[in-house]
Amino acid sequence: MVDRSGTPLVELRDIHIAFGGVKAVDGVSVDLFPGEVVGLLGHNGAGKSTLIKCLSGAYRQDSGDVYVKGEKVNIQTPRDARDYNIETIYQTLALADNLDAASNLFLGRELTTSLGFVDDSAMEAETRKIMGRLNPNFRKFASPVSALSGGQRQSVAIARAVYFEAKILIMDEPTAALGPQETQMVAELIQELKKDGLGIFLIDHDVHQVKRLCDRAAVMKNGELVGIVDVDDVSTDDLLGMIIAGKTPDHLAA
Protein backbone atom coordinates (compact mmCIF):
# COMPACT_ATOMS: atom_id res chain seq x y z
CA MET A 1 0.00 0.00 0.00
CA VAL A 2 1.01 3.56 -0.58
CA ASP A 3 2.30 5.38 2.47
CA ARG A 4 0.38 8.67 2.67
CA SER A 5 1.65 9.78 6.07
CA GLY A 6 4.47 12.04 4.85
CA THR A 7 4.41 15.20 2.76
CA PRO A 8 2.75 14.75 -0.58
CA LEU A 9 5.03 14.88 -3.62
CA VAL A 10 2.65 17.26 -5.30
CA GLU A 11 -0.30 19.18 -4.05
CA LEU A 12 -2.60 21.25 -6.26
CA ARG A 13 -4.71 23.51 -4.05
CA ASP A 14 -7.92 25.16 -5.16
CA ILE A 15 -6.91 25.61 -8.80
CA HIS A 16 -9.06 27.88 -10.98
CA ILE A 17 -8.59 28.33 -14.73
CA ALA A 18 -11.05 30.10 -17.01
CA PHE A 19 -10.93 30.64 -20.76
CA GLY A 20 -13.02 33.65 -21.58
CA GLY A 21 -16.17 33.08 -19.57
CA VAL A 22 -15.80 29.32 -19.44
CA LYS A 23 -14.58 27.86 -16.16
CA ALA A 24 -12.36 25.02 -17.38
CA VAL A 25 -11.14 24.17 -13.89
CA ASP A 26 -13.11 25.37 -10.91
CA GLY A 27 -11.56 25.02 -7.46
CA VAL A 28 -9.91 21.64 -7.79
CA SER A 29 -7.49 20.22 -5.20
CA VAL A 30 -5.54 17.00 -5.76
CA ASP A 31 -2.47 15.51 -4.16
CA LEU A 32 0.00 12.80 -5.09
CA PHE A 33 2.37 10.76 -2.89
CA PRO A 34 5.65 9.05 -3.78
CA GLY A 35 5.12 5.63 -5.33
CA GLU A 36 1.51 6.42 -6.06
CA VAL A 37 -0.48 6.46 -9.27
CA VAL A 38 -3.46 8.80 -9.27
CA GLY A 39 -5.89 8.43 -12.15
CA LEU A 40 -7.68 11.49 -13.45
CA LEU A 41 -11.03 10.54 -14.93
CA GLY A 42 -13.72 12.50 -16.67
CA HIS A 43 -15.45 13.24 -19.94
CA ASN A 44 -13.85 15.11 -22.78
CA GLY A 45 -13.79 18.71 -21.65
CA ALA A 46 -14.09 17.85 -17.98
CA GLY A 47 -10.88 19.80 -17.37
CA LYS A 48 -8.42 16.98 -16.63
CA SER A 49 -5.82 17.99 -19.21
CA THR A 50 -6.22 21.67 -18.40
CA LEU A 51 -5.69 21.02 -14.69
CA ILE A 52 -2.58 19.01 -15.29
CA LYS A 53 -1.13 21.54 -17.71
CA CYS A 54 -0.61 24.04 -14.92
CA LEU A 55 1.63 21.45 -13.32
CA SER A 56 3.54 20.82 -16.56
CA GLY A 57 3.94 24.53 -17.29
CA ALA A 58 1.87 24.70 -20.46
CA TYR A 59 -0.82 26.91 -18.79
CA ARG A 60 -0.86 29.28 -15.82
CA GLN A 61 -3.65 28.91 -13.27
CA ASP A 62 -5.74 32.02 -12.59
CA SER A 63 -5.69 31.30 -8.87
CA GLY A 64 -4.67 28.48 -6.57
CA ASP A 65 -1.29 27.15 -5.57
CA VAL A 66 1.01 24.32 -6.54
CA TYR A 67 3.18 22.66 -3.89
CA VAL A 68 6.03 20.30 -4.66
CA LYS A 69 7.33 18.35 -1.64
CA GLY A 70 5.53 20.77 0.63
CA GLU A 71 7.06 23.89 -0.89
CA LYS A 72 5.05 26.37 -2.83
CA VAL A 73 6.38 26.61 -6.37
CA ASN A 74 5.81 28.97 -9.26
CA ILE A 75 5.71 27.11 -12.55
CA GLN A 76 5.60 29.53 -15.50
CA THR A 77 6.98 27.49 -18.36
CA PRO A 78 7.66 23.85 -19.26
CA ARG A 79 11.29 24.56 -18.42
CA ASP A 80 10.33 25.46 -14.83
CA ALA A 81 8.41 22.21 -14.52
CA ARG A 82 11.45 20.28 -15.67
CA ASP A 83 13.56 21.97 -13.04
CA TYR A 84 11.25 20.43 -10.41
CA ASN A 85 11.69 17.01 -12.08
CA ILE A 86 8.18 17.08 -13.44
CA GLU A 87 8.02 15.32 -16.81
CA THR A 88 4.98 15.08 -19.03
CA ILE A 89 4.04 12.61 -21.69
CA TYR A 90 1.45 14.42 -23.77
CA GLN A 91 -1.44 12.78 -25.55
CA THR A 92 -0.05 14.13 -28.83
CA LEU A 93 3.39 12.88 -27.69
CA ALA A 94 4.88 16.29 -28.55
CA LEU A 95 7.50 14.87 -30.89
CA ALA A 96 9.12 16.78 -33.75
CA ASP A 97 8.35 14.38 -36.60
CA ASN A 98 11.25 15.50 -38.77
CA LEU A 99 13.92 14.69 -36.18
CA ASP A 100 15.26 11.31 -35.13
CA ALA A 101 14.63 9.58 -31.80
CA ALA A 102 17.78 10.89 -30.12
CA SER A 103 17.11 14.52 -31.12
CA ASN A 104 13.59 14.26 -29.75
CA LEU A 105 14.67 12.60 -26.54
CA PHE A 106 17.12 15.40 -25.79
CA LEU A 107 15.09 18.25 -27.29
CA GLY A 108 15.66 21.35 -25.17
CA ARG A 109 18.35 19.56 -23.15
CA GLU A 110 20.93 18.58 -25.75
CA LEU A 111 24.21 17.04 -24.75
CA THR A 112 27.01 19.23 -26.00
CA THR A 113 30.71 18.80 -26.67
CA SER A 114 33.29 20.90 -24.85
CA LEU A 115 33.03 23.44 -27.68
CA GLY A 116 29.30 23.84 -27.18
CA PHE A 117 28.19 21.97 -30.27
CA VAL A 118 25.46 19.34 -30.02
CA ASP A 119 26.97 15.91 -29.56
CA ASP A 120 24.84 13.67 -31.77
CA SER A 121 26.92 10.54 -31.26
CA ALA A 122 26.75 10.80 -27.48
CA MET A 123 22.99 11.44 -27.60
CA GLU A 124 22.45 8.48 -29.90
CA ALA A 125 24.51 6.26 -27.59
CA GLU A 126 22.43 7.34 -24.57
CA THR A 127 19.25 6.80 -26.56
CA ARG A 128 20.36 3.30 -27.48
CA LYS A 129 20.95 2.56 -23.79
CA ILE A 130 17.58 3.74 -22.54
CA MET A 131 15.67 2.20 -25.43
CA GLY A 132 17.45 -1.07 -24.77
CA ARG A 133 15.75 -1.02 -21.39
CA LEU A 134 12.30 0.24 -22.41
CA ASN A 135 11.80 -1.27 -25.85
CA PRO A 136 14.60 -3.67 -26.81
CA ASN A 137 13.14 -4.20 -30.28
CA PHE A 138 13.64 -0.56 -31.19
CA ARG A 139 16.09 -0.28 -34.08
CA LYS A 140 15.22 2.84 -36.05
CA PHE A 141 17.68 5.26 -34.50
CA ALA A 142 18.56 7.03 -37.74
CA SER A 143 15.01 7.56 -39.08
CA PRO A 144 12.87 10.60 -38.34
CA VAL A 145 10.16 9.70 -35.84
CA SER A 146 7.51 10.18 -38.55
CA ALA A 147 8.70 6.81 -39.88
CA LEU A 148 7.97 5.04 -36.56
CA SER A 149 4.90 3.07 -35.50
CA GLY A 150 2.55 4.36 -32.80
CA GLY A 151 4.14 2.17 -30.16
CA GLN A 152 7.64 3.16 -31.13
CA ARG A 153 6.73 6.84 -31.01
CA GLN A 154 5.19 6.29 -27.60
CA SER A 155 8.33 4.64 -26.34
CA VAL A 156 10.39 7.63 -27.51
CA ALA A 157 8.06 9.95 -25.57
CA ILE A 158 8.26 7.74 -22.47
CA ALA A 159 12.03 7.42 -22.77
CA ARG A 160 12.25 11.20 -22.73
CA ALA A 161 10.46 11.35 -19.37
CA VAL A 162 12.30 8.41 -17.83
CA TYR A 163 15.78 9.36 -18.99
CA PHE A 164 15.80 12.64 -17.12
CA GLU A 165 14.88 10.94 -13.83
CA ALA A 166 11.47 12.40 -13.33
CA LYS A 167 10.16 12.41 -9.78
CA ILE A 168 6.69 13.36 -10.91
CA LEU A 169 5.34 11.95 -14.14
CA ILE A 170 2.24 13.11 -15.94
CA MET A 171 0.83 10.73 -18.54
CA ASP A 172 -1.98 12.03 -20.71
CA GLU A 173 -3.79 9.01 -22.18
CA PRO A 174 -0.57 7.12 -22.78
CA THR A 175 -2.27 4.06 -24.24
CA ALA A 176 -4.91 5.73 -26.41
CA ALA A 177 -3.13 4.95 -29.68
CA LEU A 178 -1.61 1.61 -28.72
CA GLY A 179 -2.32 -2.05 -29.39
CA PRO A 180 -2.83 -4.59 -26.56
CA GLN A 181 0.80 -5.65 -26.42
CA GLU A 182 2.11 -2.11 -26.26
CA THR A 183 -0.51 -1.20 -23.67
CA GLN A 184 0.81 -4.06 -21.55
CA MET A 185 4.31 -2.66 -21.97
CA VAL A 186 3.18 0.71 -20.63
CA ALA A 187 1.39 -0.97 -17.71
CA GLU A 188 4.55 -2.84 -16.74
CA LEU A 189 6.57 0.33 -17.01
CA ILE A 190 4.18 2.17 -14.71
CA GLN A 191 4.55 -0.59 -12.09
CA GLU A 192 8.31 -0.39 -12.38
CA LEU A 193 8.40 3.40 -12.02
CA LYS A 194 6.09 3.16 -9.02
CA LYS A 195 8.56 0.86 -7.33
CA ASP A 196 11.25 3.49 -7.89
CA GLY A 197 9.17 5.94 -5.85
CA LEU A 198 7.85 8.15 -8.64
CA GLY A 199 4.47 9.78 -8.37
CA ILE A 200 2.36 9.44 -11.49
CA PHE A 201 -0.72 11.32 -12.65
CA LEU A 202 -2.47 9.16 -15.23
CA ILE A 203 -5.14 10.81 -17.32
CA ASP A 204 -7.40 8.23 -18.88
CA HIS A 205 -10.85 7.50 -20.26
CA ASP A 206 -10.81 3.81 -19.54
CA VAL A 207 -12.17 3.02 -16.05
CA HIS A 208 -10.95 -0.58 -16.21
CA GLN A 209 -7.45 0.59 -16.88
CA VAL A 210 -7.62 3.11 -14.07
CA LYS A 211 -8.81 0.42 -11.66
CA ARG A 212 -5.99 -1.84 -12.75
CA LEU A 213 -3.12 0.68 -12.78
CA CYS A 214 -4.01 3.35 -10.24
CA ASP A 215 -4.11 3.58 -6.47
CA ARG A 216 -6.59 6.43 -6.30
CA ALA A 217 -8.89 7.98 -8.85
CA ALA A 218 -9.86 11.65 -9.02
CA VAL A 219 -12.99 12.22 -11.04
CA MET A 220 -13.81 15.55 -12.66
CA LYS A 221 -16.97 16.82 -14.28
CA ASN A 222 -17.54 20.23 -15.86
CA GLY A 223 -14.34 21.59 -14.35
CA GLU A 224 -15.21 20.56 -10.80
CA LEU A 225 -13.85 17.74 -8.72
CA VAL A 226 -16.51 15.09 -8.08
CA GLY A 227 -14.39 13.18 -5.63
CA ILE A 228 -11.19 11.29 -4.97
CA VAL A 229 -11.61 7.61 -4.16
CA ASP A 230 -9.41 4.63 -3.42
CA VAL A 231 -9.85 2.37 -6.45
CA ASP A 232 -10.15 -0.71 -4.24
CA ASP A 233 -13.20 0.78 -2.53
CA VAL A 234 -15.20 1.26 -5.71
CA SER A 235 -16.45 -0.81 -8.63
CA THR A 236 -16.08 0.27 -12.25
CA ASP A 237 -19.80 1.04 -12.19
CA ASP A 238 -19.25 3.39 -9.24
CA LEU A 239 -16.53 5.17 -11.22
CA LEU A 240 -18.78 5.42 -14.26
CA GLY A 241 -21.48 6.86 -12.05
CA MET A 242 -19.10 9.51 -10.83
CA ILE A 243 -18.03 10.39 -14.36
CA ILE A 244 -21.50 10.49 -15.89
CA ALA A 245 -23.79 11.59 -13.07
CA GLY A 246 -21.17 13.39 -11.04
CA LYS A 247 -22.18 11.80 -7.75
CA THR A 248 -20.06 9.97 -5.21
CA PRO A 249 -21.11 6.34 -4.51
CA ASP A 250 -23.54 6.02 -1.58
CA HIS A 251 -21.32 3.77 0.55
CA LEU A 252 -18.53 6.38 0.45
CA ALA A 253 -20.67 9.46 0.90
CA ALA A 254 -20.23 10.33 4.54
Partner 1 sequence: MADASAPSASPPRKSLMQTLEVDTRLLGMIGAFAIVCIVFNVMTDGRFLTPRNVFNLTIQTVSVAIMATGMVFVIVTRHIDLSVGSLLATASAMMAMMQTSILPGMGLDLGDPWIAPLAILAGLATGAAIGALQGYLVGYLAIPSFIVTLGGLLVWRNVGWYLTNGQTIGPLDENFQLLGGIGGTLGTTGSWILGLIAVVVACMAIWSARRSRIAHEFPVKPVWAEAAMMALSAVAILGFVAVLNAYQVPSRVLQRDFQARGETMPEGFTQGYGVPYSVLLLIAVAVVMTVVARRTRLGRYIFATGGNPDAAELSGINTRLLTVKVFAIMGMLAALAAVVASARLSFHSNDIGTLDELRVIAAAVIGGTALAGGMGTIYGAILGALIMQSLQSGMAMVGVDAPFQNIVVGAVLVLAVLVDILYRKRMGAR
- Residues that contact partner 1, how many (by CB under 8 A): 33
Binding pattern to partner 1, positions 20-59, x when CB under 8 A?
A: ------------------------------------x-x-
Any contact of residue 94 with partner 1 (CB under 8 A)?
Answer: yes
Interface segment toward partner 1; rule CB under 8 A; list 29-37, 117-125, 177-185, 235-243: 117-125
Any contact of residue 116 with partner 1 (CB under 8 A)?
Answer: yes
Distance between CA atoms of residues 247 and 98, nearest Å: 46
64 within 8 A of 45, measured Cβ to Cβ? no
Interface segment toward partner 1; rule CB under 8 A; list 7-15, 29-37, 89-97, 167-175: 89-97
Q: How near is the Cβ of 189 to partner 1 at its closest, in Å?
A: 21
Please select the residue that binds partner 1; options are 6, 7, 14, 112, rule is CB under 8 A.
112
Beta bridge partners of 17: 25
**Which runs of E-coded beta strand occur in 100-221?**
168-172, 199-203, 216-221
Please select the residue that binds partner 1; options are 59, 90, 163, 201, rule is CB under 8 A.
90
Name every residue whose Cβ is closer than 8 Å to that of residue 169 and which is 6 or more positions away in sequence. 86, 87, 88, 89, 161, 193, 198, 199, 200, 201
41 within 8 A of 35, measured Cβ to Cβ? no
First-to-last CA distance in the chain? Answer: 23
Helix (H, G, I), strand (E, B) or coil at 35: coil
Please select the residue that binds partner 1; options are 7, 22, 60, 77, rule is CB under 8 A.
77
Distance between CA atoms of residues 46 and 59, nearest Å: 16
Residue numbers of the site for partner 1 (CB under 8 A)? 56, 58, 77-79, 82, 88, 90, 92-99, 103-104, 107-110, 112, 116-118, 121-122, 124-125, 144, 146-147
